[in-house]
Chain A
Amino acid sequence: MRKAINVEVNGKAHEMFVDERLSLLELLRDELQLTGTKQGCGVGECGACAVLVDGKAVDSCIYLAVWADSRKVTTIEGIAATDGTLSDIQESFVESGAIQCGFCTPGLVIAATALLDQQPEPSRAQIRRGLSGNLCRCTGYSKIIDAVENVAKTRNGG
């Protein structure tokens, strides 16, 4: 069965006619060529596929495309400004050395974006909890937590 949906992705409206079984991840990667969102485990365990749906981080591999009807989706490609300026979180990931293989990075930037929106002054423990749905096998998380903490400090006046 196919269904018509209206979905806004990174500020652009799309009218699409999609297979009801299609995941949001497949829609983004295969239909819209937004390959910045990665498929990791494919079953909602690792968080590599995280995107924002109406500002909330979801695992797009287990979120049906049809559920995104009438919603706003932000992928990693929509985090930087349209002129390419990185968000403060992205900049902090680069500066803090939070990136290694980079496969979990888009999902972690999304998760960190949602976390700081909801919790502007998190403790390190709260950052750890907030990012615990995103697995990273390269970094030991240390510099990722630093990156998010640094942004929170800067946003809160240093």
Chain B
Amino acid sequence: MKNKVIGDSVPRWDARAKVCGRADYTADIPVKNALHGKIVRAGIAHGRVLCLDIEDALRVPGVVKILTPADLPKTKFATAGHPYSLEPGGDVYDKNILTDYVRLYGDEIAAVIAETPLAAAVAAEKVVARYEELPFYLTTEEAMADGAVELHEGVKNNILADTTASVGDVEQGFAQADHIFESEYQTQIVQHCHMENQAAVAYQDADGRWTCISSTQIPHICRRILGEALEMPWSKFRVIKPFIGGGFGNKQDVIIEPLVVAMSMAVGGRAVRLELEGEEVLAYTRVRHAIRYRSKVGVTKDGRITAWQMDAVSKTGAYASHGHSIAAKGAGILSTLYEIPNMIYRSRTVLTNTGNAGAMRGYGVPQITFAIEAMTEKICSALNMDSFEFRLKNFKKEGAPHPLNGIPMATNKVADCLTQGKAAFGWDGKMAAALGDKGGIIRRGLGVAAFSYATAVYPYSLEIAGCRLTMNQDGTVKMMVGATEIGQGSDTGLIQIAAETLGVPAEMVYAEAVTDTDIAPFDTGCYASRQIYVTGMAVAKAAQELKDKICRAAEQFYKISSQVLDIEDAYIINTTTGDRVASLGDLALYTYYDKARARTLTAEVSNNCHNNSYPMGVTFAEVEVDTQTGVVTLLSMLNAHDSGVIINPLLAEGQVEGGMGMGVGFALGEDLFYDTKTGAPLNNNLLDYKIPTAMDVPELGVLFVQPVDPYGPFGAKGLGEPPLCSPAAAIRNAVCQALGFEIDSLPLTPGKVFAAIAAHRSGGEANV
């Protein structure tokens, strides 16, 4: 049967509230008589706090209390928004709410609670710390060197983890190769730059428990981490997530919530607000891992990969956060993009005194895709082989098992993305123009890059999601999920899944802006592009269960066997006659108010997902490089995606365009710098750390190839993160094609490109 709601561009349910300023974010929610918090941050990058002088700060009018590490639990907690693991060896418990051992410039060493934000800020400036300084390490090389001070006791050479994944025998693979290629690639530190800074407010509720309203992607995980950080039973905390102004993974870490709850505890349960400033968010929350890759690839003369050896060194900053999982994920990405009979992938995650790296949209895939697809172009160029032919020859085939976990790639249309995208982009015409443009000052180039991604975290971690549906008195349906809408549109997609399954129009299903751990079904939250996929499964199951209940209730009230009843357009239908039996509204009145037989209809499902599906895709980019200034101008870009069936084309396009926009920043400009003399961040503001404006993003093309994935609800696979996976790699390949030589690090700023051109002209080292 043809879908009625799936595949329709239903407007997002919250759009009208947002466009009128009626959507309440954390800072908009009125809380009575709240105090205000301010974090006191370390002014060194590594060392011990010998003493904290808070006397002057306490004298600032309006200051209520100043917390120091001595006031807080000594137990360490893990900040990463991963599901709790019953097995040992999961997350790294390395964080205190406040610390007297500083591991990064800006580390949290004390916190002021005051009557006004101004008093809190003034007092925070007056807290004086005396330190015993230790050497600090801004690079992984320095941190790993013998004799380097351990940032965390017992972490030898500051290597948090060192793992290897392999398939086949690479030495044998290299022996079979006609050509061997080697290269090194480096990505930089970038930041999420969500428009709403981290904000939270905490207070003691009427039942004595602690409520924390927070801009978090992971309310249920946040509740558990509050329990761990504050050494109390998890149920003593209630986390409420209102509308969120973006997260992109930064709010998949528990960063300010334990502190704001501790602040409220310190003032007898009175409400305390803690809102970070933009400059704090940029430098002191989470960032993307900068990763250095070394690749060695063996290829036959007809262009088949025989072996790929890859070594990744990932900079995780001062604390583990998501730790090693980001670098380690690369093995699966490499081996599901290309058919590589012999692969070895080593990854090391290294602690440094820089911004704490955590989850960021793509979870390491934009980094490794840059390294893989830069190498792919190197090979194509050396073999004088067409970029498309080489990829088509080597792409992992649909149906093949994941080489490392055995789960089959049930759908994989990366080849269709490549060929259909090439045509839609007008590659051949643009290439002809670019090739005719090689002599001048302004040079044109085209680039392509493909990626592989995995939806959700199965089989490496728990995958669970919940949904509760209730039929209202008028036959409409209230949908409660523990999944977290952060702007991506998942709520609207989930409404569509519920509506399609139930047989009602989308406007008859109501979502909920607030995710409240006391009310919403358990769900681990927003990450891994999992919500339409995993939560969507729970919604579809709950909707089927509710539909069955509706039909059975109708049998009771209308004396027609439920076996022949169905729901279409919000009417109960007799499928044998085609007649409408009753509207859902009529039936609902009976289920609520029939004196003898009333029983309200609800369905609740907790879905444990044991599948994984693979979104794939390709980016095409066209650039102009000004060889006199090094400025790269993007002329056009197109992303072609296989994310299975698209639930809502308009919202899906928005996801893709947004990811491409972030990719432009990753490719061409964003880079968080540190002062080598002090370890202080240098450009943690949006004037000096430039994210793309409306003038920096070109016209964007979007194309979907839509196989019906057998696992995902209605054939859908994840789409949130994939759009950011390949743009930077494609832009880099386009720039290199324009220039005729390689640049192997990001970002491609005018300064770097200019220097590379100068070096190339003088016959020096082309690689930068």
Contact = CB atoms under 8 A, between A and B. Distances in A.
A68 B116 CA distance: 23
Interface in B24-51: 24-25, 27-28, 30
B22 interface: yes
Contacts of B691: 135, 137
A100 B195 contact: no
A137 B194 contact: yes
Nearest to A105: B18
A94 B11 contact: yes
A131 interface: yes
B21 A76 contact: yes
A140 B15 contact: no
A138 B658 contact: yes
Interface string B641-657: 00000000011011001
Contacts of A136: 195, 694
Given A128-B695, A132-B695, A143-B657, A100 B487 contact: yes
Contacts of A128: 694-695
Contact of B194 (A94, A101, A105, A132): A101
Nearest to A125: B695
A104 interface: yes
Interface stretch (A1-9, A35-43, A52-60): A35-43
A41 B194 contact: no
B206 interface: no
A83 to B, nearest CB: 12
Contacts of A132: 693-695
Instruction: Summarize B's interface: helix, strand, loop or mixed.
Output: loop
Contacts of B697: 140-142
Interface stretch (B180-188, B440-448, B659-667): B659-667
- Which of A77, A103, A132, A138 counts the most B-chain CB atoms under 10 A from its CB? A138
A32 to B, nearest CB: 12
Interface residues of A, number: 53
A100 B22 CA distance: 14
Contact of A90 (B20, B244, B248, B487): B20
A31 interface: no
B489 interface: yes
A69 B468 CA distance: 51
Interface in B93-148: none
B115 to A, nearest CB: 13
Contacts of A129: 694-695
A42 B278 contact: yes
B195 A80 contact: no
- Which of B196, B651, B687 counts the most A-chain CB atoms under 10 A from its CB? B196
B654 A143 contact: yes
Contact of A43 (B16, B195, B278, B693): B278
Contacts of A106: 19, 21
Contact of A45 (B15, B30, B687): B687
A16 interface: no
A100 B661 contact: no
B243 interface: yes
A90 B19 contact: yes
A133 to B, nearest CB: 8
Contact of B245 (A97, A102, A109): A102
Interface in A98-149: 99-106, 109, 127-129, 131-145
B24 A35 contact: yes
B9 interface: yes
A77 to B, nearest CB: 5
Determine the interface band of chain B, counting residues with CB < 8 A from chain A.
35 or more
A46 interface: yes
A100 B19 contact: no
A41 B278 contact: yes
A20 interface: no
Nearest to A41: B278
A38 B686 CA distance: 16
Contact of B27 (A39, A41, A139, A142): A39
A86 B20 contact: yes
A103 B246 contact: yes
B657 A139 contact: yes
A135 B195 contact: yes
Nearest to B28: A35
Contacts of B594: none
Given A43-B685, A101-B244, A101-B486, A140 B657 contact: yes
B650 A97 contact: yes
Contact of A100 (B28, B654, B685): B654
- Which of B19, B20, B22, B664 counts the most A-chain CB atoms under 10 A from its CB? B19
A103 B195 CA distance: 6
Nearest to B657: A140
Nearest to B192: A137
Contacts of B27: 35, 39
Given A43-B278, A131-B694, A141-B694, A36 B20 contact: yes
A37 B245 CA distance: 13
Nearest to A148: B694
A36 B21 contact: yes
Contact of B657 (A76, A77, A142): A142
Interface in A45-83: 45-46, 48, 75-77, 79-80
- Which of A34, A76, A99 counts the most B-chain CB atoms under 10 A from its CB? A99
21 contacts: A29-B28, A35-B27, A36-B22, A40-B278, A76-B21, A90-B20, A93-B15, A93-B19, A99-B12, A99-B18, A100-B488, A101-B243, A101-B246, A103-B25, A103-B194, A103-B245, A105-B19, A135-B686, A137-B661, A140-B697, A144-B694
Interface of B: 9, 11-12, 14-25, 27-28, 30, 192-197, 243-246, 248, 277-278, 486-489, 650-651, 653-654, 657-662, 664, 685-687, 691-695, 697, 699-700
Given A35-B24, A37-B21, A145-B694, 11 more contacts: A35-B21, A46-B686, A90-B20, A97-B650, A102-B487, A132-B695, A135-B691, A135-B693, A137-B192, A140-B664, A142-B657
